């Protein structure tokens, strides 16, 4: 059987998995029937070797023995995919009814996943050991043979100097640590160098006010507050309790592995042009800033900046970003939606009913599913496991898509240790619950379970009541975040039990409209200039404010920019056709010049200026000055020149004196003397 161009090799694992080759071929719509084996990883390994030798792409229904298969395939290993049919479907109390699920899992495994872009990090082994006393000194000495340590002591009372100093020893206090693996910068206060003549106890020289240390790695044995936010997510920063010798030993071992060149995924793709953070120093959307646990996101003018080297890949920024400026790249949302679409479409085509999508993180959920399968009843036949890299990456469009594609329920398995970090996911789930409840589906279709207990997960899944799903229909995932969301919402509304025209959503939802108090609006269009998505627009020919709801992301920039404070937001999901059109929020006749009749502004804005200046400003005490405010720019200048007091007159210019003036004055003086008139008295 060939599925999406791949030859399928399936194994019953010594008869423990009931597989019907013909039924699987019909369910998947594949050509031919899958090749069934009982001991593909042992007695029948030669069959896999021959298949791999052909060089054609393979799909093997086993993950336990994947390392053996890859070793056997040799150079052709890159063309082979693996999917776990045993723990996820075959080892179950309902294994014989799991045919549709097995077909769905096979089809999902063939969905192409684009490669994640990578970053390069380099570490030369320069490590800062920061702590107190003998524990810190011993750790630095242990590392000296393998790395290049620098010891920074917070406390050193009674500490005997080493007989051979193999690394710098400093005293001081770290007040700030920035950077990442291979490029940390520690700002140290009161840094001082150890005095070589220290005898019974370490002594240090004169401390400096502040200094900086550049290192590749940091071992924090201080026992105090962490030097960075989310310390467990910062590559190259190891913080352990100095009172736990086993933890210290483990950290020393891990540090020796962090030397060389490394690749780190660029988890998030960021498009600054789509960011709705700020305009003209007015802050709007801060969703990603509020969610980032590592401090990798910082304001940068009209948008934010994401440091990919600090980013730990939790995906929370992408999950809450309303515009798609921050998009998760490992994998992108379109790939997730295509996997969900393929999984549910194949399940329904194979005759599956009442599908429950179990969404889990690969690291957390797969182990629990395996324990349920080995020690319990396994997963019910209608429960389709769906692994993601990070739960935080799930935006509203991805969470709503399974319901629109015909899933009866969605169960999200949350690692308890990560529950405090998933505030963005909870907000998206609250929005989805409000949306589903408003359309008549009920708010209980989406369930979260925060547990590490496989028994609790098993009990919950087997006791889950059945609810009626949507009709099984296809939904092609195309476009960006906003277009995908609109596509999913329209599908939900199309088949809703209560297809109301609009549904109120919680505060912070990325959908809604702008409400304007028309009486107070002067059509200054400050909101138009601030709107990052073009949801608010002006008209070049008439004083008008227009709004298109489909483009609004509820960032709040318009409300924060409005000088009249007459704008507020109303989060909602509207399904009326008008959301795709520009609607007029306010329109008025233009103000016309009282002298020439030319339109030059809006009546409301001109009259507001008149009210504020009339009688309160020294330049506008009389009626003529007020009248000039109602004139266009040309007539205002003409009126000023027509004023009798000549406001622009500068007086007669002073005439320069010349030689002729002096000669004439001398002749007049001589004439007066000759006539006996005498000199004129000085004025």
Residues 310-356: tens digit of each pLDDT: 999 999 999 999 999 999 998 888 899 999 999 999 999 999 999 99
- Show Cβ contacts of residue 675 under 8 Å, excluding neighbours closer than 6 positions: none
Given pLDDT bands bounded at 50, 70 and 90, which one contains residue 609?
A: confident
- Show Cβ contacts of residue 356 under 8 Å, excluding neighbours closer than 6 positions: 380, 382, 383, 384, 407, 408, 409, 410, 411, 461, 464
Q: What tokens does 298 get?
A: 């910082």
For position 608, what pLDDT does the model report? 78
Q: Helix, strand or coil for residue 414?
A: strand
| Mean local confidence (pLDDT), 82-109 | 96
Q: At what angle do helices 333-349 and 396-404 cross, to 10 degrees?
A: 10
Q: 391 pLDDT exceeds 80?
A: yes
Q: 634 pLDDT exceeds 90?
A: no
Q: Could you write out the three-class secondary structure of 78-89?
A: HHEEECCCHHHH
Given pLDDT bands bounded at 50, 70 and 90, which one contains residue 683?
A: very low
**CA pseudo-torsion sign 532, 533, 534, 536:** negative
> By the 8 A CB rule, do 411 and 337 touch?
no
Is 283 exposed, middle or buried, given 0-12, 13-18 or 19+ CB atoms closer than 10 A?
middle
As a whole number of Å, the CA-based R_g of the chain is 38
For position 645, what pLDDT does the model report? 58
Q: What tokens does 532 get?
A: 């990052």
pLDDT in tens, 424-447: 999 999 999 999 999 999 988 999
Is residue 331 reached through a cis peptide bond, with omega within 30 degrees of 0 on the bond before it?
yes
pLDDT in tens, 155-178: 999 999 998 999 999 999 999 999
Q: What is the pTM of this model?
A: 0.84
> DSSP readout, 205-232?
-PPEEEEEEEESEEEE-S-SS-SSSSGG
Least Cα distance to 124 among 67, 184, 202 occurs for 184
| Mean local confidence (pLDDT), 120-128 | 97
pLDDT in tens, 589-599: 888 888 888 88
Residue 290, sorted as left (phi over 0), alpha (psi -120 to 50) or beta, turns out to be alpha
pLDDT in tens, 477-531: 777 889 999 999 999 999 899 999 999 999 999 999 999 999 888 888 999 999 9
For position 679, what pLDDT does the model report? 58
Phi, psi values for residue 407, rounded to 5°: -70, 140
Q: 677 pLDDT exceeds 70?
A: no
Q: How far is CA 115 from CA 29, 331, 636, in A?
A: 28, 8, 65
- Show Cβ contacts of residue 628 under 8 Å, excluding neighbours closer than 6 positions: 636, 639, 640
For position 649, what pLDDT does the model report? 59
pLDDT in tens, 22-48: 889 888 888 788 889 999 999 999 999
For position 651, what pLDDT does the model report? 61
- Rounded to 10 degrees, what is the CA torsion of 289, 290, 292, 296? 30
- Show Cβ contacts of residue 640 under 8 Å, excluding neighbours closer than 6 positions: 628, 647, 648
End-to-end CA distance of the chain: 122
**DSSP E strand stretches across 181-323:** 183-193, 208-215, 217-220, 237-239, 260-265, 268-270, 278-279, 282-283, 297-300, 303-306
């Amino acid at each position: 059987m060939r599925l999406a161009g791949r030859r399928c090799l399936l194994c019953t694992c010594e008869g423990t998995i009931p597989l019907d080759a013909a039924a699987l071929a019909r369910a998947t719509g594949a050509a031919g029937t899958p090749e069934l084996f009982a001991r593909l990883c042992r007695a029948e390994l030669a069959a896999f070797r021959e298949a791999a030798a052909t060089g054609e792409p393979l799909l093997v229904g086993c993950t336990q023995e994947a390392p053996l298969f890859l070793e056997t395939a040799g150079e052709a290993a890159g063309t082979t995919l693996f999917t776990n049919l045993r723990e996820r479907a075959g080892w179950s109390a309902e294994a014989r009814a799991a045919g549709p699920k097995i077909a769905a899992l096979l089809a999902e495994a063939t969905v192409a996943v684009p490669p994640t872009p990578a970053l390069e990090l380099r570490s030369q082994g320069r490590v800062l050991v920061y702590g107190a006393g003998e524990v810190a000194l011993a750790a630095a000495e242990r590392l000296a043979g393998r790395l290049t340590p620098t010891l920074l002591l917070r406390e050193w009372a009674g500490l005997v100097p080493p007989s051979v100093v193999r690394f710098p020893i400093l005293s001081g206090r770290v007040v700030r640590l920035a950077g990442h693996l291979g490029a940390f910068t520690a700002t140290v206060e009161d840094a001082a160098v150890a005095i070589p003549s220290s005898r019974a106890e370490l002594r240090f020289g004169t401390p400096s006010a502040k200094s900086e240390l550049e290192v590749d790695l940091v071992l924090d044995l201080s026992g105090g507050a962490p030097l960075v936010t989310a310390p467990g997510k910062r590559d190259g920063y190891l913080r352990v309790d100095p009172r736990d010798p086993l933890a210290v030993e483990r950290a020393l071992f891990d540090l020796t592995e962090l030397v060389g060149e490394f690749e780190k995924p660029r988890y998030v793709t960021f498009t600054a042009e789509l960011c709705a953070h700020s305009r003209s120093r007015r802050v709007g959307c801060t969703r990603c800033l509020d969610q980032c646990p590592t401090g990798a996101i910082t304001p940068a003018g009209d948008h934010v900046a994401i440091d990919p080297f600090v980013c730990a890949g939790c995906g929370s920024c992408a999950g809450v970003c309303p515009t798609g400026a921050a998009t998760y790249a490992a994998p992108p949302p379109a790939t997730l939606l295509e996997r969900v679409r393929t999984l549910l479409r194949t399940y329904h085509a194979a005759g599956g009913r009442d599908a429950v999508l179990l969404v889990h993180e690969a690291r957390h959920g797969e182990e629990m599913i395996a324990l349920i399968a080995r020690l319990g009843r396994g997963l019910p036949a209608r429960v389709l496991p769906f692994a993601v890299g990070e739960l935080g990456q799930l935006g509203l469009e991805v969470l709503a898509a399974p319901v629109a594609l015909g899933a009866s329920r969605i169960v999200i398995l949350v690692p308890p240790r990560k529950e405090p970090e998933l505030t963005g996911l909870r907000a998206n789930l609250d929005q989805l619950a409000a949306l589903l409840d408003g359309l008549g589906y009920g708010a209980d279709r989406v369930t979260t379970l925060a547990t590490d207990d496989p028994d609790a997960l098993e009990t919950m899944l087997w006791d889950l009541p059945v609810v009626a799903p949507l009709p099984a229909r296809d939904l092609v995932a195309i476009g960006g975040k906003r277009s995908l969301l609109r596509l999913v919402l329209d599908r939900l509304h199309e088949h809703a039990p209560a297809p109301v025209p609009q549904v109120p959503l919680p505060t912070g939802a990325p959908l809604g409209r702008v409400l304007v108090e028309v009486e107070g609006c002067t059509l200054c269009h400050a909101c138009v200039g601030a709107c990052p998505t073009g949801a608010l627009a002006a008209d070049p020919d008439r004083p008008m404010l227009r709004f298109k709801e489909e483009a609004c992301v509820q960032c709040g920039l318009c409300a924060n920019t409005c000088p009249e404070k007459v704008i507020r937001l109303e989060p909602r999901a509207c399904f009326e056709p008008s959301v795709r059109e520009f609607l007029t929020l306010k329109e008025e006749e233009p103000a016309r010049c009282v002298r020439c009749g030319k339109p030059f502004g809006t009546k409301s804005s001109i009259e507001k200026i008149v009210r504020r200046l009339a009688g309160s400003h020294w330049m506008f005490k009389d009626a003529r000055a007020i009248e000039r405010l109602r004139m266009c720019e040309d007539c205002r200048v003409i009126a000023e020149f027509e004023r009798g007091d000549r406001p622009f007159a500068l007086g007669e210019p002073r005439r320069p004196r010349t030689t002729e003036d002096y000669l004439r004055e001398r002749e007049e003086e001589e004439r007066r003397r000759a006539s006996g008139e005498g000199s004129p008295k000085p004025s």
